[in-house]
Structure 1
Amino acid sequence: MTANWIQTDEAEDVAGSIRQVLRTAQFVREDPQAWKWVAIALHSALQGVCVCHLTTTAAPVGAVTKRNASEWLAYFDDSLTNPNAKPPKTYLMNLPDLLKAVRKPYSAGDRSNVAGVAISDYELVWLQRFHEEIRNQFTHFEPKSWSIEVSGIPQLTMLAARIIREILQSGWAFRHMDLAKREELDRHLQAMAKIDWLASS
C-alpha cells in the first residue's frame, strides 16, 4: 500500500476545526450525537487559536506551562553548546489557562497587542465550564448514561467565533497563512457565528 501523508500545522488545524464545526452543525437535528463533534471541534479551534496567539518565536514557549517553559528555555541555552541536548516534552496549558493568558495585554507572541483579547469574567467562567463539563466528558466518556444541555452551544459558538476573529485580526497567530487563506478563515468564522441551528438537518 502506498503511504499517504498530510501536512499541517497549528494554524491550519484551527482552520480545519472551524470547518468541522460548520460541517457537524448540519447534522445536529437529525443526529443528536453530532453535538459531541460540534463541541470537540469548537474546543479544538479555541485551544488552537490561543496556542497560535501566545507562542513566541522560541516555540513552544508562550503556550506551555510555566515549568515547561523553563525546561524549554534551559534546553535552548544548552543546545548552543551541547549537540546532544534533547528537547523536553511539550506540556501546553489547558484551555482555561490559555484563555486567561490571551486576556492579558501584550499576550501575542510578538507582544504587539496593547490590549488583551476581550473575554469577560463571565465568559471565562462559561468557557471553563464548557471545557470541564462538556468537552472533557465527551473526550473521556465514562460508562454511564448522561443528559447534557446543548441549548447554550449556539451562543458559545458565537462567542468562540468572536474570540478567534479578534485573534485573527491581531495578526500574529496566522502570520504564516497567505492572504487568501486568512480571508477564507474569516468567512468561515462569520458563517460559524451565523449558523442557523434550527434549520440544521
Structure 2
Amino acid sequence: MPVNSDVRQHLNAVSAYLRTDEREEAVRSIEWAALQAAQLKEDPYLWKWVLISLHNAVQGFLVLALCRGNGLLTLTPKSAERWMKAYESGEAFPPDRLDDFLSLYAKAKDQENFHMFGSGAFRPGLTHDRSMALLNEFRNMFTHFTPKGWSLELAGLPSICLDALDVVRWFGWETTAVTWYEPNFVERSKRSHEQLAASLSALSNGDAA
C-alpha cells in the first residue's frame, strides 16, 4: 500500500528522534546483552559489551524498583536534598544526579525502601554482593579505559552475570516493586533474561571462551 506524502513526512519527523525512558532503558539493555551473549563463543571480545549492557540493565531495574513515584530514592543524597529544597521553596528544580550503581544496589537490599504489598528488598545469597561489585568494577574499567594492556579472566564471568540476572528477575517480575504500564515490557524482559541465562549457563558448564 503506497504511503502518501503527509504520512511519509510524519514518519520522517518521528524518526528524527531517539525516544526512551527508564523502562525502555532497562529492557533494551537486557535485550542487547542477550544478543551479544549469544555470540560469545565465536568472539570473546563481546564480553565487553555483555558486561556493559548487563550493568546498564541491572542499574535500570534497580532504578525502576526504587522510583516510588518521585524518583528521589534513585538520586544521590545531596541531589535528593537539593530537589526537596527546591520543591518546598517553589524554586526551579536543580539538575538531578543518579546515585552510583553499588549505592542503588544497597538501597535495593533495604526492606525499609519497600512498603507496597507484594514488593520486597532483594535478599542476596553468598555470592551476589561480590558479583555485583565485580560487574561494576569491570564495567568501569571498560567505560573509563586508560592507555594500557589489560587481560580479563573469562572463567568466572558467567557466574557473575548469572548472579546479576537474579536482581533483574527479582524486581522485574517476581515482586510488585516495578510498575509496568505495558505487559510487552515484561514479556521482552523475560524472553531476553531466559536467552541470556541460557548462553551464560552454557559457557559456565564448559569454558567461558
In structure 1, the residue matched to 2:81 is 70
Gaps of 5+ in 1: 80-84
1:200–1:7 distance in 2 versus 1, CA, 3 Å: farther
Equivalent-residue separation in structure 1 for 2:165 and 2:151 (angstroms): 26
* Structure 2 contact 61–171 (Cα < 8 Å) conserved: yes
Which residue matches 1:82? none
Query: Does the 8 Å contact 1:118/1:163 carry over to 2?
Result: no
Matched, 1:128 2:133: yes
1:1-201 aligned within 5 A: 4-59=16-71, 61-79=72-90, 85-108=91-114, 111-112=116-117, 115-120=120-125, 122-132=127-137, 134-169=138-173, 170-173=175-178, 175-195=179-199, 196-197=202-203
TM-score (ref. length: structure 2) = 0.81
Matched residue pairs, number? 192
Whether the 8 Å contact between 2:58 and 2:168 is mirrored in structure 1 is yes
Secondary structure in 2 matching 1:33: helix
| Offset, 1:77 | 1.4
Task: Kindly indicate whether the alpha-carbon contact (under 8 Å) linking 2:36 and 2:49 is maintained by their aligned counterparts in 1.
Answer: yes
Shift of 1:179: 1.7
Question: Given that residues 27 and 200 in structure 1 are in contact (C-alpha distance below 8 angstroms), is that contact kept between their aligned partners in structure 2?
Answer: no
The percentage of aligned residue pairs carrying the same residue is 24
Q: Which has the higher helix share?
A: 2
Q: Structure 2: where are the runs of 5+ without partners?
A: 1-11
Report which of the two structures shows the higher radius of gyration computed on alpha carbons. Answer: 2
User: How many angstroms does 1:181 deviate by?
Assistant: 2.5
The 2-side partners of 1:184 and 1:144 are apart by: 38
